[in-house]
Amino acid sequence: MSYDHVMPADHDRMLRQGLGMQPDVEFPKEILDRYWSFKRCCDRITCRVQANDLARIIDECGHGKPTEKEASPPTVVELSNKKSIKYGDPVTVVWRGKEKPGTFQGAGDGKKVLVTIEGSDMIREVPNSSVTYTARELATA
């Protein structure tokens, strides 16, 4: 099926962003088929296609898998370098084999993180791999 219609620029942009596509690349056929089918239905009942509708189309067509960047979230040191985590932010620390709530105090040499563990005022230097940012969803959004 060929499409003579012109997709609204904001839909084009959001679909490309969701698919991780460059502006000069053609959309996959299944995305276009689903998009125009959904858009026709919305037009019939006089409602707008929303961003979450586009995200659903992308996911239902099998393009919702995590990218390489999303599959390996940034470490606390990387977040600190980007200023996405700051002094006093909540972290989870693996301390003596157990996950404990803690507070970010700073980043060391790239392999170490400075934290305080709940119930103690002592600043401890722990391996970067043993600390996760409690509010990571906010940092990567």
Domain limits of the chain?
A: 9-65, 76-140
Question: Which token pair is 63?
Answer: 């393009």
pTM of the model: 0.52
Tell me if 131 sits within 8 A of 113, measured CB to CB.
yes
Alpha carbons 115 and 124: distance in angstroms, whole number: 5
The string of pLDDT tens digits covering residues 79-132 is: 888 888 888 999 999 988 899 999 999 887 778 899 999 988 899 989 888 888
User: CATH classification of 76-140, choosing from 2.30.30.140, 3.30.420.10, 3.40.50.300, 3.40.980.10?
Assistant: 2.30.30.140
